[in-house]
Homo-oligomer: A and B are copies of this chain.
Amino acid sequence: MNGKRIIIYDLAAELGISASYVSRALNSHPLVSKKIVETVKKKAIELNYKHNSHAANLRQGSSKTIGVIVPHINQSFFSEAIAGIEEVCFANNHSLIICQSHESYKQECTAIETLIHQNVDCILISISAETESPDYLNEVISHKIQLIQFDRYLDTVNSSRVVNNNKEASYEAVKKLIEEGYRQVAFIGGPEHLTIFKDRKEGYLKAIREACLSIPCHFIVDNALSKEIAVNISTELLKLKQPPDAFFTVSDHQSLGVLQVAESLGIEVPEKLGIFGFANEAFTELIKPALSSVDQKGKELGKCAANLYFRTIAQRIASTETDKKEIINSEIIVRQSSLRSMAAVKI
């Protein structure tokens, strides 16, 4: 191994043909005979030649790279979505750059900047809880980079998007709680500027309304998207004279907080308190009582989001003409934490 990287010109010199021809051969251009393609590729391997994507990208104006930005890579839903995106990108011969916003608007902007500098062809994003302004997302669009939002999105931005049937899923989940006989179902929500959390709340409200339950307004808390906040809220509510007898939360971590508070206060779940989470994190089926939740089908959603991009470029349509809204149906998973009737039987 000598010091220099092997480039197309080295191959050309070795083979006694022109660099352009080598390039075409390497790309299996139809006008190059199979025999030459083979010879060139063999020589490339022999000399340990590696294609330099940056140079090709610069010339072609496309990086064949897509970027994905999520709040956290270690949450089940996001890591599954990324697995789905990866699969599709891989099948389409594109690279993937994964960034985390860590729920911070500032870090999200940095990630977007980086991806623009990297000249990605498309950005798939699930926005941070802090993000309210559409400015940075519009910046992406103004740079002719395809933008696809998934799960958490801003509806003030014109882009394709893939989301779950959040309203319906929440409605079903809360209905399950009501069917189990819970009457005072509290709600712990997320930031209101994110439509998915607004939708989950609406689903909750619809189920409550339909059952003609009267819920005190302090049982409905928005903008509480963390275990810590959920712990504080549920502690407060459960110590009331007239406490809620169930919680529906927009994330599993919030539900986990509620569960731990119930435990420390000696309130039995599901007998005295029903709990229903959202996202079907890995831990939900491991804890006791196992937590009821909503499976968002992250992998399927990720695949769908990525396919949206590849379908668009395959059809060579400008992004603005093709803003698609796709819905992935989630699955209600009822476990012990919301099964009062079963618990009664068990005793």
Residues in chain A within 8 A of chain B (CB atoms): 1, 3, 5, 48, 50-55, 57-58, 63, 65, 72-76, 79-80, 82-83, 86, 90, 95-100, 102, 110, 113-114, 116-119, 139, 142-144, 256, 282-283, 286-288
Contact = CB atoms under 8 A, between A and B. Distances in A.
A55 B1 CA distance: 27
B50 A116 contact: yes
A286 B90 CA distance: 35
Contact of A100 (B3, B86, B139): B86
Nearest to A116: B50
A119 to B, nearest CB: 5
Contacts of A96: 97, 99
A74 B82 CA distance: 10
A282 B253 CA distance: 11
Nearest to A65: B118
Contacts of A58: 52, 54-55, 58
A141 B102 CA distance: 33
Nearest to A119: B54
Q: How many copies does the complex hold?
A: 2
A288 B82 CA distance: 30
A3 B143 contact: no
Contacts of A283: 282-283, 286-287
A117 B57 CA distance: 11
A117 B52 CA distance: 5
A55 B54 CA distance: 7
Contact of A63 (B54, B83, B86, B116): B54
A119 B53 CA distance: 7
A52 B102 CA distance: 25
A55 B56 CA distance: 10
| In the complex, the 6 A-B pairs of residues with the closest C-beta atoms, listed nearest first | A74-B79, A98-B98, A53-B117, A54-B54, A283-B283, A73-B73
A192 to B, nearest CB: 28
A293 B152 CA distance: 34
Nearest to A99: B96
Nearest to A139: B48
Contact of A256 (B74, B139, B286): B286
